[in-house]
Amino acid sequence: MGPQDWLRPDCYAEDTPPDSLTMPAKKNNKKKTTANVSPEQRKAALEAKDAGNKEFTAGNYDAAAKHFTAAIEADPTDHVFYSNRSACYASVGKLNAAIEDAEKCIEIKPEWGKGYSRLGVALFKKGDLDGAQKAYAGGIACDPNNVQCDDGLAEVRKAKEQQMLNGGKMADMSLVEPVIGIDLGTTYSCVSVWKDGEAQVLANSEGDRTTPSWVAFTDDGRLVGDSAKRQAAQNTKRTLFNVKRIIGRQFSECQEEIKIMPFTVKEDKATGKPIIEVEVDDEPKDFTPEQISAMVLEKMKKTAEVALGRPIKKAVITVPAYFNDAQRRQTKDAGAIAGLDVLRIINEPTAAALAYGLDQKNAADAGADVKSTQNILVFDLGGGTFDVSLLKIEDGVFTVLSTAGDTHLGGEDFDTALAEDVSSQYKKKSGQDIFTGDDRAQRKLRTACERTKRMLSSSTGANVECFVGEHEINMPYTRARFEKVCEPLFQRCMESVKRVLDDAKMTKAQVDEIVLVGGSTRIPRVQAILSEHFDGKALCKSVHPDEAVAFGAAVQGAILSGARDSATSNLLLVDVIPLSLGIECEGKAFAKVVPRNTPVPCKKKQEFSTVQDYQQEIDVRIFEGERSNTDGNHLLGEFQIEGIERAKAGEPKIDVIFEVNTNGLLTVTARDQVTGAQADVKLQHDRGRLTPEEIDRMCKEAEEMRAEDERAERENLAAMERGDDDM
C-alpha cells in the first residue's frame, strides 16, 4: 500500500466511528459542544463536511477543499475538518497548505494518529523524508496500532534506501539522459523507464501504475487521469476519453466512435479532421485530438519526472500496429505538444514482444533451456483496440512477420454490449427506459458494467449495481450471459489471428508462444477461444498484460538512449509496415510500391509514366491500404511534379521513391529520369498531419494552459493563506 491509498477522507467514518461526523453528536464529545459553536453552526459544518466527502470521493479535490473550508469556518474546533482538507490539498499538490492543516489537526487533537499520518504524507510528497519519518513515528507513539503510520514509515525507509543507492541524492542524475517508454492507451496509459538494469513501471501521484487516458475540464481547473474519470458522471460534456479512437482520422471516418461520445465532436471544415469542443471558463473552446492526447502524455511525463527527480525530454511512444501514417504522425505531434522529443513510435505488440524477449533472455542467462529462434504471436486486446502480430525472435533480433487487428474492438465494446443488454433487460422488467438519451445515466451504467465485467473474469456471477436518479439497478449477471452477449465480438478477434498466420504463411503448429497483452485478455472466454484455435496450446502469461507494452517501450528507449547493458545489448528491433503503400494510377487503380509487412526502415523505387501525349505535370496521390481501387484505400497525401520530359504518352520515365523511416513515417519523392525534375510529398500539407506552425501554436497553448493551471494553483494558495472562503 502506498501513502496515497488511504487518503480518502471518507475512510474516517469506517476507521474511527467515534469521530464520524455523520453519526449523531454525542453529548459528551467536547469538540462538538464548545461554547463558541452554536448548534446552527455545527449543523452547517456537518453538512459542508458531508458535501466535501462526496466531492472528494468523486475526485473533485478542489471542490471538496472548498466545502471543508466552509466547515472550518462554521466550526473551527473540529480536527477532522482540517485533516480532510489536508488530504485534499495533498492530492492536488498544495503541500504547504496540506502540512499546515495536518499540523492544526494535531494541535487540536494530539492523541489522534491520523493527524500525524496526514502530516507524514504531505511531508513525504514534499520530499522531506526526515520530517515524514518524524510525523509517522509521532503517530505510532500515540496510536501504536496505526496502520497508515506504519505503512508510511516503511515507505520512508524504502525511499531512504533508494536515496543511499543513488549516492545520497534523491535525483537520478546519471549521465545518460533517460528515454521513457509510454504506452498511450485508449483507456489507460502507462509509463516505464530503464533504470538500474531493468525496465521499471512508474507509479503516478495517486500511486497507480496505469493512468486512465481521461481529461476533464471543471470549474476548478483541468483534471487528467483518475480524477478526471471519477467525476465523469457529473460532468459528461466536459470529460474527454477514447480520443485515441479519433486521432489521425477524418471526421467522416469515425462517425461510429463519435456517435457514442457524450462530448461534442465536430468537423474542422478546412481539414476534415474531428475537433473536440469543450466549455472552458464559460467559453466554448476547440481542441484537436492531439492536444487532448498531449495532456495525457504530459501527465505521464510528469509522473516520470517526479519518480526520477529530473526533467524528462525524450520518449518512445507506442501505437497499435494497425495505426496508419496519419495516426502515427499525430501521436508524434501529441508528444511534441507535451514537450517530448519522440525518438521513436513503435508498435504495441512489438513492444510487448520485446518485454517477452527480455524475459526469455533473462531466463536463458539464468541457465534455462530457451529456443534461440521462436515464433511468437502477440495477442493484444485492450480497451479500445485489438492488435495481433506474429514475430520471430532469432538470437535477440525481433522481426515482425505480419500484423493485423481492429481499431474498433476492445473492452469498451464489451462494456457497450453488456450495458445495452442490462438496459434492455431493465426496460423489460420495470417498463421504464431510464437510459436512452441520458448521457449521465449511460455513463453510470457503463462504469457499473465495466466493474461487473472485470468481476466476471474471476467469478461466474456478479451484480450490475448503480443508482440512476431514484432508480436503483441491482441486477445479477452471469458469466455465461456475458459470454453469449459478447461472443460475436470475441469471434472477430479470431479473424485477425487467422489473417496474421496466412500473411506470414505460417501454420498454427509453427507458433511457439502466444503472448497475452491488454486488460481484456483476462476474460476467460477470450483465452479459451484463442487456446482452442491453437488446438489447446497453453497461453503465455509471463508478461504483465497492463504493463508489457510500456515495459517494452522502455527497453527500446534504453537501446536508443545508449544506456545499453548486458540485458539490452543483444536486442534489436525490426518492424514492418502495417498497410501497403502506393500511388493512384489511371482509372483509380492502386499501384503498390511498398507491400504490407515489408520490414522498416525501407526504401522502394518504382517506375511510372504519363498517360497523355506531351503531359508535363503529374499529380501523385499517395494511398495506403489493400484494395486494388483507391476508393477503398486511405489517402495519405498528394503532390505535383512538374517539368516532365515532353514526349509521347508512356515514354517519360518517372521514378517514385517511397522511404519509410524507423518510426514508420513516410516520405515520397518523384523524379524524372531525363529532365531531373523532382518533387517531394509536402507532408505538412497532408490532410492528416499538423504543420510545424500548428504544432508550435499548440505547444504554446499547452504551455499557457500549464501556466494557467499553475497560476490558478498559486491564487488558490494565496486565497487559502488569506483564509478566503471561495477557494
- 3-state class of 41 per DSSP? helix
Q: Report the alpha-carbon distance of residue 727 to residue 725 in Å, rounded.
A: 6
Q: Minimal CB distance to ligand AMP: which residue?
A: 411
Beta bridge partners of 377: 390, 514
Show the binding pattern over residues 472-511: x = contacts ligand AMP (CB under 6 A), - = does not: ----------------------------------------
Applying CB under 6 A, the site for ligand AMP has a residue count of 18
Nearer to ligand AMP by Cβ, of 92 and 292: the residue is 292
> Taking the CA of residue 318 as centre, how many other CA atoms within 13 Å lie in the half-sphere pointing to its CB?
36
- Asked if 406 is part of the footprint of ligand AMP (rule: CB under 6 A), the reply reads no
Stretch that binds ligand AMP, among 137-145, 186-194, 473-481, 650-658 (CB under 6 A): 186-194
Beta bridge partners of 287: 276
- Asked if 242 is part of the footprint of ligand AMP (rule: CB under 6 A), the reply reads no
- Asked if 523 is part of the footprint of ligand AMP (rule: CB under 6 A), the reply reads yes
Q: Report the alpha-carbon distance of residue 53 to residue 80 in Å, rounded.
A: 11
Residue tagged active-site, from 78, 100, 380, 547 = 380
484 is catalytic: no
Nearer to ligand AMP by Cβ, of 15 and 208: the residue is 208
Q: Report the alpha-carbon distance of residue 715 to residue 724 in Å, rounded.
A: 11
| Distant-in-sequence, close-in-space partners of 72: CB < 8 Å, separation ≥ 6 | 45, 78, 81, 82, 85
- Asked if 320 is part of the footprint of ligand AMP (rule: CB under 6 A), the reply reads no
Task: Tell me how far, at minimum, the Cβ of 423 lies from ligand AMP, in Å.
Answer: 18
Angle at 350 between CA 348 and CA 354, to 5 degrees: 115
Q: Report the alpha-carbon distance of residue 63 to residue 218 in Å, rounded.
A: 10
Residue tagged active-site, from 32, 94, 125, 244 = 244
Q: Report the alpha-carbon distance of residue 575 to residue 403 in Å, rounded.
A: 10
φ, ψ for residue 231, nearest 5 deg: -100, 10
Task: Tell me how far, at minimum, the Cβ of 484 lies from ligand AMP, in Å.
Answer: 16
Residue tagged active-site, from 55, 78, 183, 645 = 183
Of 453, 479, 592, 621, the one binding ligand AMP by CB under 6 A = 453
φ, ψ for residue 579, nearest 5 deg: -135, 145
Task: Tell me how far, at minimum, the Cβ of 576 lies from ligand AMP, in Å.
Answer: 22
Nearer to ligand AMP by Cβ, of 224 and 278: the residue is 224
Nearer to ligand AMP by Cβ, of 351 and 679: the residue is 351
Distances, alpha carbon 416 to alpha carbons 255, 261, 419, 472, in Å: 16, 12, 5, 20
- Asked if 212 is part of the footprint of ligand AMP (rule: CB under 6 A), the reply reads no
565 is catalytic: no
Which among 122, 117, 77 has a CA at the least distance from the CA of 96?
A: 122
Contacts to ligand AMP from residues 357-396, by CB under 6 A = 382-383
- Asked if 578 is part of the footprint of ligand AMP (rule: CB under 6 A), the reply reads no
Q: Report the alpha-carbon distance of residue 304 to residue 301 in Å, rounded.
A: 5
Phi-psi region of 597 (alpha: psi -120 to 50; beta: other; left: phi over 0): left
Stretch that binds ligand AMP, among 184-192, 272-280, 611-619, 668-676 (CB under 6 A): 184-192
Of 360, 457, 610, 633, the one binding ligand AMP by CB under 6 A = 457
Which among 69, 85, 75, 82 has a CA at the least distance from the CA of 32?
A: 75
- Asked if 552 is part of the footprint of ligand AMP (rule: CB under 6 A), the reply reads no
286 is catalytic: no
φ, ψ for residue 24, nearest 5 deg: -60, 140
Nearer to ligand AMP by Cβ, of 84 and 187: the residue is 187
183 is catalytic: yes
The catalytic site residues sit at 183, 244, 348, 380
**Which residue ranges make up the site for ligand AMP (CB under 6 A)?**
185-188, 382-383, 411-412, 450, 453-454, 457, 518-520, 522-523, 546
